[in-house]
Structure 1
């Protein structure tokens, strides 16, 4: 009951002096938060606040078709910033290292920093806003947090294709 009441309070604004504040949970306690934070959340669904593409002239259908072909023709694809030998962000580095730690190095990767239309297109393709993105057998697995949790739980190695043995 107390948790439900606390959740309701999180959504309501109260007047404190001449400034408007919303309540937010901090370490289990309710504390005042500036009103602009509550207002920002209320208007976040407005079209003016939707992500804007910096890529002009890229044909969305063409990029979508290219991405679909890429993830279907390769068993494992990692869209990342940089490359596995020299990642350009910590999240991309973490996913590349997780793949290396489970002994999997046979994957295709795309450096989205070189191809801005792919960087924007892959976000729409997967409906996932961040890079890196891992695909296994044409299925979107997730971004850094999901892949790292799967690695920690031992699930990452299970979903990756088994190495092909040469006979």
Structure 2
């Protein structure tokens, strides 16, 4: 399997689970081929199921399979209290409602959420183009806007 495996049921247009053929290396001395795939999912059980599926396919072909690495999934909560606060702060600060979207990527929220499952989290940041590539770029103006927004949000988080 390669590419989109499943789309999200809860967010239109969002990939839930995917895999890609990331690296293929051949070694003429050992007469072996090493294949590395990256599996992503916002649903941990779906990623585990995809890993089992990949294992089965390659094992049937006579390959030795090692599943390692990865990171926990994180499903955005559109009813999140911090999201509601941030929407209000953004509207107050910039005079418009921000665009809310989820992306299919590994996020720190998945790692933190695995340790702190009851945290209310949101992922946001400055505008980045071509992430995780030699051409990665950040829009400098968006960094200042992001910082101001973060500071204002922290001032407006309700006390618990």
Report the structure number with the largest CA radius of gyration: 1
- TM-score range normalised by the length of the shorter chain: under 0.3
Higher RCO structure (Cα 8 Å, ≥6 apart): 1
| TM value normalised by structure 2 | 0.28
User: What TM-score, normalized to structure 1?
Assistant: 0.27
